[in-house]
Structure 1
Amino acid sequence: MTKKKRVLRLIQKYIFLLLGSTLAAAGLEFFLIPNKIIDGGIVGISIISSYLSGIPLGLFTFFLNIPFLIFGYKQIGKSFVISSIFSITCFSFFLSIFHPIPSLTDDILLATVFGGIILGVGVGLIIRFGGSLDGTEIIAIVLNRRTILSVGQIVMFFNIFILSSAGLVFGWDRAMYSILAYFIAYKAIDIIIEGIDEAKAAMIISDYTDEIAESIMARLGRGVTFLEGKGAYEEQQKNIIYSVVTRLEIAKLMAIINDKDENAFVTIHDVSDVMGGKNKKRAIH
């Protein structure tokens, strides 16, 4: 990669980190916080602490994250921590800027849904471009390397206690709305990171791989790769089809396979991201 491309990619990265921080702050200050709905992690702790103490939320979100960032610098790496510092600084700044602006709605359900979506989109952009807004995610990444628990399970464990504590401060109805907002934000994060058309990788073992591959290319417009395999029982050489499609194309893919070989062995699994190659769909005329 040329120096110019690296600089342009770096500029793009920080533009999206800035955009993500702005959206996350807007989701909180325009919808969630005025209606006493909190987020999970350090942000949730900061919201409760700010409410009880009267100290501006932006100060809590910035200073409470510092120990985790120092820990993450030693355990995870410089690039991630620098991106996180930038994101958290921008996020804290925009929380302070947006705080005087009144809530856009007093309807608790609308605030939960739209606040969760906007917050999730913002956090999703930050994660997608290599940053983080929450120190608990850093702890989760490190613990994931040392335990059998996934990052998601560890974060969820932290957030159960944090979101439940909202019931003691704001009332149990607000705690339930906070949990709902959290799950909405979580789904929005998934969509931003994985894309609306979630990628699926299919591996197909059949005696009719040529016919199936030709149909996939002709009817779906997707690229196909042949992998060489050998059956352990019969010790016969077989071609294995590998192709990446979207979630919406799975049903059509299965119809193509069943049309050519009802006994084909098929596995389909999620793909978190797709880059390069010839995966982009060709126009079919």
Structure 2
Amino acid sequence: MHWLRGIRIKNIMIIILGTLIFGFGIIHFNLQNGLAHGGFTGITLLLYYLFTIEPSITNLVLNIPLFLIGYRLLGRKVFIYSLIGTISLSVSLSIFETYPVANIPLQDDMILVSLFAGVFSGVGLGLVFRTGGTTGGADILARLSNKYFGTTLGQFMFTFDAIVITTSLIRLSLTQAMYTLITVFVASRVIDFMIEGASAAKSAMIVTNHSDELSSEIRRRMSRGSTVLTGKGSYTHDEREILYCVVNRNELIHLKTVIQDVDPYAFFSVNDVKEVSGEGFTFDRNRDPFHT
């Protein structure tokens, strides 16, 4: 079918898993301990506290207008994944509302509640976002903001969530709102972590007068390649060769040792690399049938 072209079963399963994790956290940490949340989920919780309307129902009702916007601006795939995510989240909330897996009343340790609520929300939403989907509501708005304004999903979610939490003060105490703010902050960081990954590697920019010898030693002693860039000193105007090298985090000390042994006067800087792929990281050249 044309509508389902490019839709992967694996992504659907990840979305379902993500919404189950998210739904578990909302019911077992937020709802059971009187916390709100950000985004449309926060609105559904506020409506529950005020009028006892089940979040699983309001989640669907509030998202209907946004699906039209999401389809027109984000395209067919995101629309389908978002539809699946929203329905799956409502089902997950309904399941955990009716059949809670555990009773976790931790009102005596609200910091722990806030942290766990944030982690479950961040991991769940992060899994959904990684597939290209959303759970509707603020998630769709976050993707639109990322597409047109370049904000990260976590940044937008935190800002939107702060607005919702401020509004929730009509029902929550100031203390509850502050704990909720901790929750959404943790969730926003976990979302970015899930999407961008951990600091997978380190990159080094090395300015040296012994580039040939240093690159040879890096290759011999670490089995790592490097790229030679050409630069010019701003003070001396001398031409310099700069080595760019990417290594795993646990190889950084080894790299520093190699640099120190070859050129103790070399200038180098080290930066985090959020994602890295290619030879030496995501495949082994010795196992590559196309490598000659």
Q: TM class by shorter-chain length?
A: 0.7 to 0.9
What residue is the counterpart of 2:172 in the other structure? 170
Task: Tell me by how many angstroms 1:58 deviates.
Answer: 1.0
Is 1:68 paired with 2:71? Answer: no
Of 235, 242, 245, the match for 1:242: 245
Please say if residues 153 and 191 of structure 2, whose CA atoms lie closer than 8 Å, have aligned partners that are also in contact: no
- Aligned AA (2:239): Q
Structure 1 residues 131 and 150, CA gap change in structure 2 (3 angstroms): closer
Is 1:203 paired with 2:205? Answer: yes
Please say if residues 161 and 184 of structure 2, whose CA atoms lie closer than 8 Å, have aligned partners that are also in contact: no
Structure 1 residues 70 and 224, CA gap change in structure 2 (3 angstroms): farther
Q: Distance in 2 between matches of 1:124 and 1:147?
A: 20
Please say if residues 17 and 126 of structure 1, whose CA atoms lie closer than 8 Å, have aligned partners that are also in contact: yes
What residue is the counterpart of 1:3 in the other structure? none
SS in 1 for 2:244: strand
For 1:88-237, list aligned pairs within 5 A.
Answer: 88-100=86-98, 101=100, 103-107=103-107, 108-144=110-146, 146-147=148-149, 152-214=154-216, 216-217=218-219, 223-231=224-232, 234=237, 236=239
What residue is the counterpart of 1:80 in the other structure? 78
Larger Rg: 2
What residue is the counterpart of 2:288 in the other structure? none
Structure 1 residues 214 and 28, CA gap change in structure 2 (3 angstroms): farther
Please say if residues 213 and 241 of structure 1, whose CA atoms lie closer than 8 Å, have aligned partners that are also in contact: no
Structure 1 residues 143 and 111, CA gap change in structure 2 (3 angstroms): closer
For 1:43-54, list aligned pairs within 5 A.
Answer: 43-54=41-52
Please say if residues 121 and 189 of structure 1, whose CA atoms lie closer than 8 Å, have aligned partners that are also in contact: yes
SS in 2 for 1:241: strand
Task: Tell me by how many angstroms 1:17 deviates.
Answer: 1.4
Please say if residues 83 and 136 of structure 2, whose CA atoms lie closer than 8 Å, have aligned partners that are also in contact: no
Deviation string 1:243-279 (CA, Å, 9 cap, x unpaired) is: 1433x65555445434544554445444443334332
SS in 2 for 1:243: strand
SS in 2 for 1:179: helix
- Aligned AA (1:83): Y
Please say if residues 33 and 106 of structure 2, whose CA atoms lie closer than 8 Å, have aligned partners that are also in contact: yes
Is 1:59 paired with 2:60? Answer: no
Counting matched residue pairs gives: 274
Deviation string 1:205-226 (CA, Å, 9 cap, x unpaired) is: 32233444455456666x3231
Sequence identity (%):
28
Task: Tell me by how many angstroms 1:97 deviates.
Answer: 0.5
- Aligned AA (2:65): P
SS in 1 for 2:53: coil
RMSD: 3.1
Deviation string 1:108-151 (CA, Å, 9 cap, x unpaired) is: 33322222212211111111222122432432443455557665
Q: Distance in 2 between matches of 1:16 and 1:146?
A: 26
- Aligned AA (1:53): F
Please say if residues 48 and 169 of structure 1, whose CA atoms lie closer than 8 Å, have aligned partners that are also in contact: yes
Q: Distance in 2 between matches of 1:250 and 1:168?
A: 52
Please say if residues 199 and 273 of structure 2, whose CA atoms lie closer than 8 Å, have aligned partners that are also in contact: no
Deviation string 1:138-188 (CA, Å, 9 cap, x unpaired) is: 324434555576654443332221122233312111101101111222232
Q: Distance in 2 between matches of 1:227 and 1:67?
A: 53
What residue is the counterpart of 2:290 in the other structure? none
Structure 1 residues 150 and 90, CA gap change in structure 2 (3 angstroms): closer
Of 30, 33, 36, the match for 1:32: 30
